[in-house]
Structure 1
Amino acid sequence: MQNTKTGVLLVNLGTPEAPTAPAVRAFLKQFLSDPRVVDLPRWQWLPILNGIVLRFRPKKVAKAYQSVWQEGGSPLMVISREQQQALQARLQQDVGQSVPVALGMTYGAPSMRQGLDELLEQGCDKVVLLPLFPQYSCSTSGAAFDAIASEFAGMRTFPHLRMVRDYHDNPAYIDALANSIQSHWNQHGRGQKLLMSFHGVPKRFVQEGDIYQSQCLRTGELVAARLGLSEGQWMVCFQSRFGKEEWLTPYTDETLEALPQQGVKSIDIITPAFSVDCLETLEEIAIEGKSEFLAAGGEAYHFIPCLNAEPDHIAMMSELVQKEMQNW
């Protein structure tokens, strides 16, 4: 009987290779050229992308990256590498045998093909694709599936594949989020309201069938229930909108500006759609969000980090992989 070996391709969105305008431009060109992300007709969108967006946006985004860049690279890359190593060690412990874990980004490097090749070189003929997007969206998990499928399209033979589509209501994920919030409260005290800020998507995506919004709301409900919060003590909002089209509401930035006028002077904010701290959490929420809230009259603003490479987060990933490995 032929020996078989399972590997894991850990997937995240991706990151520029440097906090410079040229590196950001290259990353944004690949990211914003994906029809899963911007689904306007190519004849309409590409002139806007190349003629306007890629001319002006990279310099601004590069400056934002410079405010959070680390010695080992972007926070997303540094922490993703930590997750990769921690998950491989945890799987060795849980399964009792080596389960190689490679890192592949939907955009940028290491690419999905680089991660896939790394697993194939180690003899893996079965691959569990684990996109670290807890809530499914066509623009994240859907794009990750497209990316791996496009690599398979050029291969004479490809490995068996199983994909974790989402884990928005997974008990271990909910517990990890709730534990991180409770731990923060134990150390720093508790604000008047807990905000759960999810990355936004165009409202039209949901109207056309994307299940992202419903899964975000379900995650929020489960975390609030796990913490024993009443209706007025928490809320879900959506960040990072781009362009003029209406996105999911309420918008995080507008919420932060409005809450102090409603008597909410202290808040805690967490970003459950992000498995890794990155530009959108560290710069947009931890820095810009705090500035917006305090400028509007807020008094205390506490950002709660992503789950990153915390042990209970890694244990949850191991559980997801082991479930996919069963009866294979």
Structure 2
Amino acid sequence: MKNDYLDINNKIGILISNLGTPNSTSIKDLKKYINEFLMDKRVINLPRILWIPILKLIILNLRPRKSAKLYRVIWTNEGSPLLSFSKKIVEKLSTILDKRITLALGMRYGSPSISEAMNIFRQEKISKILVLPLYPQTGSPTTSSTFDAVANYLKDIPWMPELRFVSGYHDQDDYINALVKSINACFKNNGKPDKLIFSFHGMPYRYLEKGDPYYCFCQKTARLTSEKLNLNENSYDVAFQSRFGPDKWLEPYIDKLLIDEATSGTKYIQVISPGFAVDCLETLEEINIQYRKLFITNGGEKFEYIPCLNDGDNQIKLLYSIINNSIKGW
């Protein structure tokens, strides 16, 4: 019997994954996206008997309309910035990686999905796959959830490729150096701020209590970056954003920190979000619009947001290095 999966060409599949985005700014598409996102047990680890009624009866009747308005503010002619930047990353990597490599983009929620990306590899008879989630600081709701999606795709089919998985890169030199370059460029163009804030996406505090290392990885990223920038401990802070619900989340909360800084006399703030590989709703709207307004209205005078690495040269160099190091021996 012929073995179609005999890897005579030594082909490799690279799955580039990110969180995802709604297909449009319509309330219908937002409702579909939010439902998929918040039904993930890695994202909301409450008992289903408690959580599902809250989600279906309350959140999905309120949040999609509000979120649709926010997405419309950042939506571009190319659609979602997160999806647009992610596609450009794949396109640029495709031009410089070995020709035996096939890249596919798969979002954890929304489209194109991880299943769609895995289908590409399966159709091309690729038996070696590297999964690269674009989450520098690995955590259960992000990186672990990506692993779940890949495993869930494979569990009911007879194809079992050889898998390698990149579980974060929060302290890799190329990543830290890329952040340093971005921050130094902002310092050069806009002046050095009174305070630099490293803002990471928050998560409920109970995740940390149960052993999720995400908080520690965030702290290490900020420490390594600040050391290379020669910043003293009073010139930067680490904060967490995007919390919702009544539970305690990782602290300090960036909104409270910005108010404290503004009311205590800090005039100039710069904010960078190292946990986001590409700009998205949480950076372009939440930070650059909401938090800018919050800081200024409470007495601050100047606020600069430092963009994500996006599809810039530093990002491409970083991911190129991660991929080549991860596929050694293949």
User: What does residue 327 of structure 1 align with?
Assistant: 329
- Verify: 1:69 aligned to 2:65, yes or no: no
User: What does residue 134 of structure 1 align with?
Assistant: 136
1:90–1:314 CA contact under 8 A, matched in 2: no
CA distance in 2 between counterparts of 1:187 and 1:120 reads: 47
Identical residues among aligned pairs (%)? 40
User: What does residue 53 of structure 1 align with?
Assistant: 59
- Verify: 1:7 aligned to 2:13, yes or no: yes
Aligned pair partner of 1:291 in 278, 293, 297: 293
CA distance in 2 between counterparts of 1:89 and 1:211 reads: 35
CA distance in 1 between counterparts of 2:240 and 2:279 reads: 16
User: What does residue 282 of structure 2 align with?
Assistant: 280
1:199–1:238 CA contact under 8 A, matched in 2: yes
User: What does residue 78 of structure 1 align with?
Assistant: 84
1:90–1:315 CA contact under 8 A, matched in 2: no
**What is the Cα deviation at residue 3 of structure 1?**
2.8
User: What does residue 149 of structure 2 align with?
Assistant: 147
User: What does residue 248 of structure 1 align with?
Assistant: 250
Aligned pair partner of 2:193 in 191, 194, 199: 191
Aligned pair partner of 2:93 in 84, 87, 93: 87
Aligned pair partner of 2:312 in 307, 310, 315: 310
**What is the Cα deviation at residue 225 of structure 1?**
0.5
CA distance in 1 between counterparts of 2:188 and 2:229 reads: 13
- Verify: 1:35 aligned to 2:41, yes or no: yes
1:164-313 mapped onto 2 (5 Å cutoff): 164-313=166-315
**What is the Cα deviation at residue 181 of structure 1?**
0.6
User: What does residue 25 of structure 1 align with?
Assistant: 31
Give the 4+ runs in structure 1 shifted more than 4 A: none
**Unaligned stretches of 5+ in structure 1?**
none
CA distance in 2 between counterparts of 1:122 and 1:86 reads: 21
User: What does residue 3 of structure 2 align with?
Assistant: none
Question: SS at 2:97's partner residue?
Answer: helix
> Which amino acid counterpart does residue 205 of structure 2 have in structure 1?
K
How many pairs are equivalent? 324
CA distance in 2 between counterparts of 1:76 and 1:197 reads: 18
Deviations along 1:161-185, whole A, 9 cap, x unmatched? 1000010000000000010110111
**Unaligned stretches of 5+ in structure 2?**
1-6
Question: SS at 2:317's partner residue?
Answer: helix
**What is the Cα deviation at residue 90 of structure 1?**
2.6
RMSD across aligned positions (CA): 1.0
**What is the Cα deviation at residue 122 of structure 1?**
3.3
1:240–1:280 CA contact under 8 A, matched in 2: yes
2:208–2:215 CA contact under 8 A, matched in 1: yes
User: What does residue 120 of structure 2 align with?
Assistant: 118
> Which amino acid counterpart does residue 318 of structure 1 have in structure 2?
Y
**What is the Cα deviation at residue 206 of structure 1?**
0.5
TM norm structure 2: 0.96
TM norm structure 1: 0.97
